[in-house]
Amino acid sequence: MIETTMQHGDLLISGLVEYSRKVFPEAKIVTWTENGARDTSFADIGNQGAQIANALAKLGIGVGDRVATFMWNNAEHQALYAGVPSMGAVLHTLNLRLSPEQAIFIINHADDKVIFVDASVAPLLSPYLQGTPNLQHVVVVNGPVEALTAPDHITVHAYADLIAGEPTTYDWPALDENAAAVMCYTSGTTGDPKGVVYSHRSIYLHSLLVTSTTGMGLSNRDSMLAIVPMFHVMSWGLPYAAMFAGSTVVMPDRFLQPEPLLAMMAATKPTLAAAVPTIWAGVSAMLDANPQDITHLREVIVGGAAVPPSMITKFDGYGVPIVHAWGMTETSPLGTIARPPAGIEGDDAFPYRVTQGRFPAPVAARIIGDNGEELPWDGIAQGELEVAGPWITGSYFQPDGNVTDPAKFNNGWLRTGDVATVTPNGFMTIVDRAKDMIKTGGEWISSVELENVIASNPTIVEATVIGVPDAKWDERPFVLAVVRSEDDADVDAQRAYLEGLVPRWQIPERWSFVTEVPKTSVGKFDKKRVRQHYAEGDYQILGQPQE
């Protein structure tokens, strides 16, 4: 048997840090502030990362210890992305928008030893700390330590003081590439949040995809506006992919509203941007009211929830193509991206662009029917999407060891909970979340497809659809919507718009109009809360059930 002559080199984040600081010192992290942009070179990010590692080592942090962040997207967060995993500790990004109960559960479940917190959100973190007995240190970043109130068992540090005088180099350990590097928790829309632990290898390989032309195509010629939070699936892997590619990254910090986002676009002229659909809906509304040239963006990457086709058309009108992607916390997250086949342009490309796209080579995928059978890729058969691959989790984190959950894992395959179809040439379309499908009179309605058609009405700002109990039909769709003016809160007019666009039996009777649809901690429509509010009678229901 012949053996390879190739050398072995572990794929480590420390390698990305050293590469980016030496080879791409011109690349930078641009942090948006109240006074405009603040630039930090990748060389400085590497230096700061080493200072963080030296400081943490003095605090007793070692290989495998969890170091959490409670922070916005900014240069200091990028330095933590660099230094913490490179020294062998595990970076744990805490979601700023969790409920207190979930935040305390996650800090204790992960057994965090240190938390770095932006001063602007330190008052939000303070009430959680009494319930975290194993937490030892909190480091306040970008503001005074007085912003935080901590119990006696926690030592509070100022970030600048903690790293002051520390060396700008660190003897990075020779870790196994399969060692834990970063951990994130699911948003916990059902049950407790679940921990996913990414390895150095999985992050490195995922970074390759983000920089690939079959992924986001991120290169050293790009400036990426990373709106998707660094506390959500590593900002879709962008902080590490930028180190790999030498890309400048524009980070919005806490300025996530349409007006400052458009201001930073005007000032920094990014070539790419990434965020969930609800962000772009707000940006679109602002652009309609205050037109601005955004054609410096060669693409906008949108994921986290299905993109309404009307939004894709709207951004085409701005001269900026939306590229649809799909993924989950469990998939690092990039699982598919919608790039039309070669040679297909214009109107012919649109049917491909509204899908979730094709799977990259390392991601295996299949759809499974109700009886456990694998279904064909014929663009018609619908089943639960299952995926496997080197950046797909095979279990959830448990303090006493990783365990698999049969409800989420099927003989090495991740059960996504998404109902999907796949065409013969590999284009995947999410029909709906399995739990969000609406069964009415024995027939199924996709809440996602219905939402997309409703959202195509120019009078609708945003809308979500859930199934609600119905005495005659078992379930019927209920629409919770935000409209552009009071006059648009007209159920008859909204129903009339849907005539001819969906089958008549799918047109919802029950509507309610609100100022904002509830969102999850990562910006998706929170259907769990909508169901709860509906059940508790919190909405004024307009329209009449079918007879």
pLDDT digit string, tens, across residues 208-261: 999 999 999 999 999 999 999 999 999 999 999 999 999 999 999 999 999 999
Helices 75-86 and 13-23: crossing angle in degrees, nearest 10, is 130
Residue extents of the structural domains in the chain: 437-535
Section 93-116 average pLDDT = 95
Question: Are 304 and 520 in contact, with CB atoms under 8 Å apart?
Answer: no
Report the mean per-residue pLDDT for the chain. Answer: 95
pLDDT at 472 over 90: no
Tokens 């598919």 belong to residue: 336
For the segment 21-34, the average pLDDT, to the nearest whole number, is 96
437-535 to CATH, choices 3.40.50.300, 3.40.640.10, 3.30.300.30, 3.90.1150.10: 3.30.300.30
pLDDT confidence of residue 294: 98
Contact status, residue 20 vs residue 29, Cβ threshold 8 Å: no
**Tens digits of per-residue pLDDT, 324-361?**
999 999 999 999 999 999 999 999 999 999 999 999 99
pLDDT for 144 beyond 80: yes
Q: pLDDT band for position 542 (50/70/90)?
A: very high
- Other C-beta atoms closer than 10 Å to the C-beta of 334 total 27
Residue 106 in this model has a pLDDT that exceeds 90:
yes
Mean pLDDT of 468-488: 93
Q: What confidence score (pLDDT) does residue 306 get?
A: 85
Q: What is the pLDDT of residue 192?
A: 81
Residue 180 pLDDT grade (very low, low, confident, very high; cuts 50, 70, 90): very high
pLDDT tens digits along 413-461: 999 999 999 999 999 999 988 889 998 888 889 999 999 999 999 999 9
Catalytic residues: 186, 330, 439, 444
Burial class (CB in 10 A: 0-12, 13-18, 19+), 482: middle
Residues 6+ apart with CB under 8 A from 513: 481, 482, 483, 489, 542
CB–CB of 278/524 below 8 Å? yes
More confident residue, 249 or 187: 249
Residue 22: HSE in the Cβ half-sphere, 13 Å Cα cutoff: 7
pTM of the model: 0.89
CB atoms within 10 A of CB 37: 14
62-93 pLDDT tens trace: 999 999 999 999 999 999 999 999 999 999 99
**Residue 13 or residue 404, greater confidence:** 13
**Which residue is it, tokens 């951004």?**
315
DSSP string, 347-386: GGGHHHHTS-EEPPTT-EEEEE-TTSPBPP-SSS--EEEE
pLDDT at 179 over 80: yes
pLDDT of residue 189: 55
Position 188 scores a pLDDT of 58
CA distance 462 to 455: 6
Please tell me the predicted confidence (pLDDT) of residue 347: 95
Residue 187: predicted pLDDT: 74
Residue 97 near residue 121 (C-beta atoms within 8 A): no
Nearest to 425 by CA among 362, 327, 339, 530: 339
Give the helix, strand, coil percentages of the chain, each rounded to 5. 30, 25, 40
